[in-house]
C-alpha cells in the first residue's frame, strides 16, 4: 500500500513537472511564433497586413487618448468597445510603442478643468454629440465626445470616431463608424510617422479656381499633414517629381497656345509628369453652364461644350468627358427663386434644381465607400474608352432617374414650371468620376521630332518617356465639386456645405479620399473596404418569445449542472462500489 502511494505521488509530481515544462516551452515558442486567431466570418477583430507592418515598424511611442467613455447607450458602448478592440490589435503588433487611455470629459469634477478640456477638444476638431438616453422612468441628455487624439514625436492629430451620414439609421451609422476605425487610426499614425509629408500641387495658369474657392480643402489638407502649394505651370519648364500629386481644379482657358512652337508645351509638361509616375486629380467641366450667367439672363443661358485642348490626352489615358449636362430628378439640390413681391421685399421659394445632382456610389471602392451623397453643379457624363492595360472604376454616378442633355442647348428656369416626366429621365447611373489605373501611354508617342527628343534628353526631368510605370489618376467631370461656396465677406464655407439649405455633403471627404488614394503607396486606404455585417434581431419575434428565452437562459444552465452532479455521483458509485 505504502509503495503504491509513493509511486502515485511520484507520477503526479512527474505529470505536474511535465505540464509546467510544456507550458514553459509554449510560452518560449510564442515569443518567436506569434499569431492571433479571429474566428468571425468577416474578420472583424483583425487588422490588415499594411496596418500590421506599420505598427511593427514604429520607432517611438504613439499615445492615443480616446474621449468616449462613461455611461453610454448600447450603440456608443459598441463603438467604444470596438475602438478598444482595434487599439488592442494595434498594440499586439506595435508592442510598447502603442499606448492608449480612455477618458470621460464629463467625469472631471472640477468645473473649470472640464470646460477647458471641452473647449480644447472642440478647437482640435473633435465634434461633440448630444446623447439622449430614454428609460422607462425618465430621459437623460449628456454631451459626449466620440473622438480621439493621436500623438507621436510631439505632433498630434485628431480622429473623429463617429460618422455623420445623411439617410442612415443610428444602427447603420454606428456600424459604418466601427468599419472605419482601423483606417482612421492607421491613417493618423501613418501621417504622423512619415518621414516627409506628401506634397500636393494645385495647378495654376489656365484660369483654375481662385485662392478663396479652394481655401478650405487646402487648409484641411495642411491640417492632415500634407504640404500644399500652388504651382504655376507657365513659370516652370516642367512639373517636378517632388510633387506626389497635382490637382487641376476647373481650368477655364485652353491648354493650347497660338504661339508657334509652344502650342502644347503645358500639355507636354503634364503628360511627361504622368509618364514619370506623377498622379493627377482632374476636375474639368464638360460644358459652359454657369449659374451666375443664368441668373442675369431671364431667357436662359445658351450652353456649349467646352474645349480646353486636353480631350486627346484624356482619351489616350482611357476616358472622354462628354459635352453634355446631367439632370437628376431623384436626388438634387434646391435653389431659391423669387416668386413674388411682398411690399418692398421679394418673396423667395426653394425649387429642386435638376442640374445640381447629388451623386452616389456603389460602395465597392475605398474612395467612395460609406460616403454621403456628393453635390455636383452642372456636371457632365464620362465615357470610358477601351484601353488595354488600363483599369477603370466608376467612383460616382447619378441615380436611376437621370438624363444627359446634349449641347449646344439652352438652360433656363422654365423647366421648374411643372412636374418632370420620369419617362424622359431614363438614363440610369451616368458616370461622373472615374479612377484609372495602369501603365499610361504618352499622348505624344510617335509625334515628337528627333531634334526635340535630343534636346529634351539633355535635362533629366524633361527626358521624354513613352509609357508610365504603374500609375493612377482620377477624372471628375465637374470642376465645381472641389469649390467652396464663398460668403459675402469673401471667406469660404467648408467644402460641401450648401448655404441655401444648410446641409453638409460629402465633397470634402470624397476629394480627401481621392488625394489619399493617389499618394498612398502603403495600402492603408484599402482598410476602408472592411465589412462588418449587421445581424439584427427581429424585434417583433424577440418580444413575442421573450419569456421563452428568459426561461431557457435561466433554467437550462441550472438543470445542466444538477444533471451533471447526479451523473457524476452515479458514475463514481458504480466504479468504486464494492
What pTM was computed for the model? 0.78
Q: ∠ at Cα 410 (409, 415), nearest 5°?
A: 120
Number of domains comprising the chain: 2
Rounded-to-integer distance, Cα 440 and Cα 241, Å:
17
Residues 349 and 461 in one domain: yes
151 domain-assigned? yes
Residues 217 and 243 in one domain: yes
Question: Any idea what the CATH number is for the domain that residue 127 is in?
Answer: 3.40.30.10
528 domain-assigned? no
pLDDT at residue 578 in the model: 57
pLDDT at residue 33 in the model: 58
* Three-state DSSP class for residue 270: helix
Residues 414 and 497 in one domain: yes
pLDDT at residue 70 in the model: 83
Q: Which positions ≥6 away from 94 have C-beta within 8 Å? A: 55, 56, 58, 62
What are 438-464's pLDDT values in tens digits?
A: 999 999 888 776 666 665 666 666 678
When the pLDDT of each residue in the chain is averaged and rounded to a whole number, the result is 85
Residues 315 and 442 in one domain: yes
Taking the CA atoms of the chain, what radius of gyration do you get in angstroms? 31
Q: Looking at the chain, how many residues does it have?
A: 578
Rounded-to-integer distance, Cα 130 and Cα 149, Å:
20
The answer to whether the beta carbons of residues 238 and 265 sit under 8 Å apart is no
pLDDT at residue 32 in the model: 62
286 domain-assigned? yes
Q: Which of 168, 192, 216 is the last residue of a domain?
A: 192
Q: Quick one: angle between helices 181-193 and 49-56, nearest 10?
A: 40
Residues 125 and 95 in one domain: yes
Residues 88 and 181 in one domain: yes
Cell numbers describing residue 220: 484641411
Question: Looking at the predicted structure, is the pLDDT value of residue 58 above 70?
Answer: yes
Cβ burial 374-408 (10 Å sphere, 16+ → b, else e): bbbbbbbbbebeebeebebbbbbbbbebbbbbebe
Cβ burial 126-153 (10 Å sphere, 16+ → b, else e): beeeebeeeeeeeeeeeebbbbbbbbbe
467 domain-assigned? yes
Assign 323 a pLDDT band (cuts: 50, 70, 90).
very high
pLDDT at residue 540 in the model: 66
Residues 160 and 204 in one domain: no
What's the domain range around 439?
196-505
What are 334-390's pLDDT values in tens digits?
A: 998 877 777 677 788 889 999 999 999 886 788 988 788 999 999 999 999 988 889
Cα dihedral 461/462/468/474 (nearest 10)? 90
What are 494-536's pLDDT values in tens digits?
A: 999 999 988 889 999 999 999 999 998 777 777 666 655 545 5
Amino acid at each position: 500500500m505504502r509503495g503504491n502511494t509513493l509511486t502515485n505521488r511520484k507520477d503526479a509530481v512527474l505529470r505536474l513537472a511535465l505540464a509546467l515544462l510544456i507550458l514553459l516551452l509554449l510560452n518560449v515558442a510564442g515569443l518567436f511564433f506569434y499569431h492571433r486567431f479571429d474566428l468571425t466570418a468577416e474578420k472583424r477583430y483583425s487588422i490588415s497586413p499594411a496596418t500590421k507592418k506599420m505598427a511593427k515598424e514604429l520607432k517611438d511611442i504613439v499615445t492615443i487618448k480616446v474621449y468616449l467613455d462613461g455611461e453610454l447607450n448600447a450603440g456608443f458602448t459598441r463603438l467604444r468597445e470596438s475602438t478598444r478592440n482595434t487599439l488592442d490589435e494595434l498594440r499586439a503588433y506595435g508592442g510598447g510603442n502603442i499606448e492608449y487611455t480612455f477618458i470621460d470629459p464629463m467625469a472631471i469634477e472640477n468645473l473649470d478643468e472640464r470646460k477647458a478640456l471641452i473647449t480644447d477638444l472642440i478647437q482640435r476638431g473633435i465634434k461633440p454629440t448630444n446623447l439622449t438616453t430614454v428609460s422607462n422612468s425618465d430621459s437623460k441628455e449628456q454631451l459626449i465626445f466620440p473622438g480621439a487624439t493621436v500623438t507621436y514625436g510631439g505632433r498630434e492629430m485628431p480622429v473623429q470616431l463617429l460618422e455623420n451620414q445623411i439617410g442612415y439609421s443610428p444602427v447603420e451609422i454606428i456600424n459604418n463608424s466601427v468599419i472605419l476605425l482601423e483606417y482612421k487610426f492607421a491613417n493618423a499614425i501613418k501621417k504622423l510617422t512619415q518621414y516627409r509629408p506628401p506634397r500636393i500641387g494645385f495647378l495654376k495658369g489656365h484660369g483654375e479656381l481662385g485662392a478663396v474657392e479652394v481655401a478650405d480643402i487646402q487648409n484641411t489638407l495642411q491640417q492632415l499633414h500634407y504640404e500644399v502649394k500652388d504651382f504655376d505651370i507657365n513659370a516652370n519648364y516642367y512639373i517636378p517629381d517632388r510633387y506626389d500629386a497635382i490637382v487641376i481644379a476647373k481650368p477655364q482657358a485652353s491648354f493650347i497656345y497660338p504661339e508657334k512652337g509652344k502650342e502644347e508645351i503645358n500639355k507636354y509638361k503634364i503628360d511627361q509628369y504622368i509618364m514619370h509616375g506623377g498622379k493627377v486629380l482632374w476636375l474639368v467641366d464638360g460644358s459652359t453652364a454657369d449659374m451666375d450667367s443664368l441668373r442675369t439672363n431671364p431667357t436662359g443661358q445658351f450652353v456649349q461644350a467646352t474645349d480646353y485642348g486636353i480631350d486627346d490626352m484624356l482619351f489616350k489615358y482611357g476616358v472622354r468627358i462628354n459635352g453634355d449636362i446631367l439632370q437628376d430628378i431623384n436626388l438634387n439640390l434646391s435653389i431659391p427663386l423669387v416668386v413674388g413681391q411682398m411690399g418692398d421685399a421679394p418673396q423667395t421659394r426653394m425649387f429642386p434644381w435638376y442640374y445640381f445632382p447629388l451623386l452616389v456610389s456603389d460602395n465597392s471602392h475605398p474612395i467612395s465607400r460609406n460616403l454621403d451623397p456628393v453635390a455636383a453643379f452642372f456636371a457632365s457624363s464620362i465615357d470610358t474608352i477601351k484601353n488595354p492595360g488600363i483599369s477603370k472604376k466608376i467612383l460616382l454616378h447619378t441615380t436611376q432617374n437621370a438624363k444627359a442633355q446634349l449641347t449646344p442647348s439652352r438652360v433656363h428656369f422654365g423647366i421648374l414650371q411643372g412636374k418632370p416626366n420620369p419617362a424622359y429621365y431614363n438614363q440610369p447611373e451616368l458616370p461622373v468620376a472615374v479612377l484609372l489605373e495602369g501603365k499610361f501611354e504618352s499622348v505624344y508617342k510617335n509625334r515628337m521630332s528627333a531634334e526635340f527628343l535630343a534636346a529634351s534628353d539633355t535635362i533629366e526631368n524633361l527626358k521624354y518617356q513613352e509609357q508610365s510605370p504603374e500609375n493612377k489618376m482620377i477624372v471628375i467631370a465637374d470642376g465645381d465639386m472641389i469649390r467652396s461656396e464663398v460668403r459675402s465677406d469673401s471667406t469660404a464655407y467648408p467644402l460641401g456645405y450648401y448655404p441655401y439649405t444648410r446641409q453638409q455633403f460629402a465633397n470634402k471627404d470624397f476629394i480627401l479620399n481621392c488625394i489619399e488614394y493617389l499618394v498612398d503607396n502603403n495600402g492603408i486606404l484599402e482598410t476602408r473596404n472592411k465589412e462588418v455585417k449587421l445581424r439584427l434581431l427581429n424585434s417583433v419575434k424577440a418580444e413575442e418569445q421573450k419569456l421563452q428565452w428568459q426561461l431557457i437562459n435561466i433554467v437550462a444552465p441550472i438543470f445542466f449542472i444538477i444533471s451533471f452532479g447526479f451523473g457524476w455521483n452515479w458514475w463514481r458509485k458504480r466504479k468504486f462500489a464494492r
